[in-house]
Chain A
Amino acid sequence: MSERETVLKISHLNKRYQDEGNPSGNILEDFNLEVKRNEFLCILGPSGCGKTTLLRCIAGFEEFEGEVSIEGKAKTEPDTDRIMVFQDFNQLFPWKTVEKNIQYPLKQQGVQDKQTLQRITAEYLEKVNLPGIEKKYPHQLSGGMKQRVAIAKALALKPKIILMDEPFAALDAMTRNRLQAELISISADEDCTFIFITHNIQEAIVLGSRVILMSKNGKIKIEEQNTIARPVTPASEGYARMWTRLHDALEE
């Protein structure tokens, strides 16, 4: 498969909420976007710019006008080809152990063999650096661990796209940095496209192979390939310039 293949295409997406205090009611106006296979797209924007709504439209959680298509097929309903990782730590089912949380969706997909299920669970828990926590219940885990399990659960399903809605926003800075580093190495290994929403400039530069900056009504203000050599640190060549550019655009 070539790098250039388009996995997600959004054309003329319109989304409005009639009842909100929003004068025009428009959250997204004629939004267009193409995402290539195995890209790590970071979408940066201030609160209320419509970035979460955009992600929810892609996931199929919202009704919208326009078209969202995955590999050429129009999508309006949630499905396992696009898995959402939420910001909320409580996205795992509390009534299932970590292992069952990961295996349940796989079983729904028809994977029934116990050994296969166990192998997949162990493999993905290993990837998120949480080996051996299979039998724990979510309430016994810290916030960072829950997010890692949620990522492992998403990866195990082998979706075409993982949608991440500020999954690290509620974590402390140290845990956040560690999870960013883990996510970078995971995304390098996996044949998966990531769309990651954040309002943190550092996070967007460190993670994204492409960065988009959204402003009101989902207008794309900046769109650029991230050419900074990986791993990206604040000391990397070009980091400061990119940070300033994004920062200034956010401030406007």
Chain B
Amino acid sequence: MNRSKERLHSILSQILFVVLVGACWETVAKLKVFGTKSDLIFPPLEAIGRAFVTNIFNLGAGTSFWVYIYNSMRLLLIGLVIGIGLSFVFTGLSMISRTFYYIYNLVVSIFDLLPGVALLPVVIIIFGIKPAVIVFLIAHSVIWPMSRNILDGFLAVPVIYVEAGKNIGLKGVRLLTGVYIPATASYVISGLKVSWARAWRGLISAEMIFGIAASPGIGFYINQMRTNLKNAEMYATLIVIVLIGVIVQYGIFAPIEKYTVKRWGMSK
């Protein structure tokens, strides 16, 4: 009873907030508070809505909006898989070799602080203006936070699991996959969330800086709309970006948590 009341409270206050912000926006837009620039900064909500619907249902001319989304998501997925895969390999090696652990720890600390976009000039020289650059940036933005989380997780694995594992004859790689990795599940999941967010941002930034003719993505699309002063379309795209984030959170991460750490009683 109390919980449903609290839920209602949270939903109502959030709806109220969104409605209020919308009303303020619309007022500012209609009064043209910013004069001639007003339509660029605060395009009316109906224009944004119209752009949104046009994009989603592919009513406009030219390349379908979904092609941009597809291009972005494809590169994002490749980058994520490479980044996550490598972070498991490197953190795994760190658990097997002490020397590797010390070095990798340093490498993670250094590169975690380096924004992927700052590496762009060098990466472009290496790969040319190709989708590989985006994949590289995404992998870069994923591998370090993911590695940091996995390493922290490995260090926090209760000794009793490790000893129970050794006791049943697990050693080396089998101890890693049989005990360390599942025992680190909650760290891995929070690493995935951070990595996803960084990858998503890295992707949009990189695409906004340069478009790849062979594979134009959402960031590129936003930039195009900006160039053409189609700011309602730009805002509509921002909404799509947020929506994709929400879908990933509730459609991917929430189920992963439900079927792993929550089911195992390792997280509330």
Contacts and interface: CB of A to CB of B under 8 A. Distances in A.
A64 interface: no
B163 A137 contact: no
Contact of A80 (B168, B174, B263): B168
A83 B165 CA distance: 11
A137 B160 contact: no
| B interface majority secondary structure | helix
Interface stretch (B82-90, B145-153, B175-183, B241-249): B175-183
B185 A78 contact: no
Determine which residue in A60, A83, A105, A109 has the highest number of CB atoms from chain B within 10 A of its CB, and name it: A105
Contacts of B263: 137
A93 interface: yes
A86 B266 CA distance: 20
Given A61-B163, A84-B163, A104-B178, A94 B264 contact: yes
B2 to A, nearest CB: 25
Given A94-B266, A139-B265, A83 B161 contact: no
A26 to B, nearest CB: 23
Given A95-B260, A104-B168, A139-B265, A90 B158 contact: yes
Given A94-B266, A105-B168, A105-B169, A86 B160 contact: yes
Interface residue range, chain A? 20 to 34
Interface in B149-200: 158, 160-161, 163-164, 166-170, 174, 178-179, 182-183, 185
A79 B167 CA distance: 5
Contacts, number: 63
B163 A78 contact: yes
Contact of B166 (A61, A109, A139): A61
A139 B160 contact: no
A95 B183 CA distance: 8
Contact of A109 (B158, B169, B178, B185): B169
Interface residues of B, number: 21
Contacts of B185: 95
A247 B168 CA distance: 36
Interface in A82-126: 82-84, 86, 88, 90-95, 104-105, 108-109
Interface of A: 59-61, 77-80, 82-84, 86, 88, 90-95, 104-105, 108-109, 137-140, 157
24 contacts: A59-B167, A61-B163, A78-B163, A78-B166, A78-B169, A80-B167, A80-B168, A84-B163, A84-B164, A86-B160, A90-B158, A91-B160, A91-B164, A92-B164, A94-B264, A94-B265, A94-B266, A95-B185, A108-B168, A108-B169, A109-B169, A137-B265, A138-B265, A157-B168
Interface in B79-133: none
Determine which residue in B166, B183, B266 has the highest number of CB atoms from chain A within 10 A of its CB, and name it: B166
Contacts of B260: 95
A130 to B, nearest CB: 18
A86 B264 CA distance: 20
Given A80-B167, A90-B160, A91-B164, 5 more contacts: A88-B160, A91-B161, A95-B182, A137-B264, A139-B264
Nearest to B170: A108
Contacts of A59: 163, 167
A92 B183 CA distance: 11
Nearest to B266: A94
Determine which residue in B160, B167, B178, B264 has the highest number of CB atoms from chain A within 10 A of its CB, and name it: B167
A201 B183 CA distance: 37
Interface in B209-268: 260, 263-266
Contacts of A60: 166
B178 A140 contact: no
Nearest to B158: A90
Contacts of B169: 78-80, 105, 108-109
Given A137-B263, A139-B264, A93 B166 contact: no
A109 B160 CA distance: 21
Contacts of B163: 59, 61, 78, 84, 86
Nearest to A83: B167
